[in-house]
Structure 1
Amino acid sequence: MHPAQVLRRPLTARVMKGAVGRYTHFPNKFHQRSIITLKDHVYFKATAGGPGRNGIVKSYGDSPLELKMSMPKVAGGKGDGPNPEQLLAMGYSSCFLGALQLAAARASKKEMAENAKVHTVVFLGHPDAPNMDGFGLRAEVIVEGCPDDAIIASAHEFCPYSRALQYGADVSVMKA
């Protein structure tokens, strides 16, 4: 299916029902997974508003950021601004690089990750599962310039983005 067709497929109310976030679907079975909870935390805040995915998103904190979001051309939009999947890929790349550098330092091989680059590709599409409507994400992380598999594996275990996508995250959706 062409990406523009994938993104134009209508959503239904089933997206908001069921075991959202706590189960991953595999053909013919559900696999329950644990959820990461936090004993201490730092928080970050962002707000989105406007017409759908073409609105304004703002983040607050030490270095506030405001972006006009846009639907990508491949999905039928103008493509004149970033989209949420790009921001996820950027955040994941940056976070994984930090985890990689920390893992290398902990292994007394700091120089292994000094010049490393992390490329993240985020895919958006409909799940293959026939009983799951809506969209799903898939991410690929490619590490360049760090030949040590153990350091890469350690970074994957430490990175908060990897943990959230692999083990789940505690998500609360509330009405204001």
Structure 2
Amino acid sequence: MQVLYTASAQATGDGRDGHVRTSDGTVELDLAIPKEMGGAGGAANPEQLFAAGYAACFHSALRLVARKAKADVSGSVVEAEVGIGPNGSGGFGLAVTLVVDLPAVERSAAEQLVEAAHQVCPYSNATRGNIEVALTVREAA
């Protein structure tokens, strides 16, 4: 693979109760363990950062495949839900649900676009076979 861009970030402090900063300073956040995991909460956590990155990346992949298919994805929204829990082997694992709104696309076509985006998205390719990723097309209101 020819690398086109490399992001770099540094974590300091106490890991999940620490601080992260990208090398260019565009992202700089305190971190806190969520209350649901016994922490104080009140600050970002790695799962939120992963969810934001996956949602943005998947949305880009979705728009790419939609352009190729000449599909109208105006008003589209991608929500990534990232869960964390014990993996049964003494460690922890992640699970992701991607919820996609495509209000201008008929449901079966929307499902095809979402599946095509899942094959293109770098986050999907990185997680495939490693964590459970569920794809959901939200029903039109």
Q: TM tier, shorter chain?
A: 0.7 to 0.9
Q: TM-score, normalised by structure 2?
A: 0.82
Higher strand fraction: Structure 1 or Structure 2? 2
Give every structure 1 segment of 4 or more consecutive aligned residues whose post-TM-superposition deviation is greater than 2 Å.
38-41
| Cross-structure match for 1:137 | 94
- Pairwise CA distance, 1:64: 1.6
- Pairwise CA distance, 1:167: 4.9
| Cross-structure match for 2:59 | 97
Q: 1:56 is matched by which residue type in structure 2?
A: H
**Structure 1: runs of 5 or more not aligned:** 1-37, 169-176
Asked if structure 2 preserves the Cα contact closer than 8 Å seen for 1:101 and 1:114, the reply is no
State yes or no: 1:39 paired with 2:2: yes
Q: 2:115 aligns with which of 153, 162, 166?
A: 153
Trace 1:27-176 onto structure 2 (pairs within 5 A).
38-61=1-24, 64-109=26-71, 111=72, 113-128=73-88, 132-145=89-102, 146=105, 147=107, 148-167=110-129
Q: 1:107 is matched by which residue type in structure 2?
A: A
- How far apart, CA to CA, are the structure 2 residues paired with 1:118 and 1:68? 25
Question: Who wins on radius of gyration, i.e. which is larger?
Answer: 1
- Percentage of matched positions with identical amino acids: 35
Asked if structure 2 preserves the Cα contact closer than 8 Å seen for 1:71 and 1:83, the reply is yes
**Structure 2: runs of 5 or more not aligned:** 131-141
Q: Secondary structure at the match of 2:16?
A: helix
Q: TM-score, normalised by structure 1?
A: 0.66
- How far apart, CA to CA, are the structure 2 residues paired with 1:40 and 1:86? 25
- How far apart, CA to CA, are the structure 2 residues paired with 1:95 and 1:39? 18
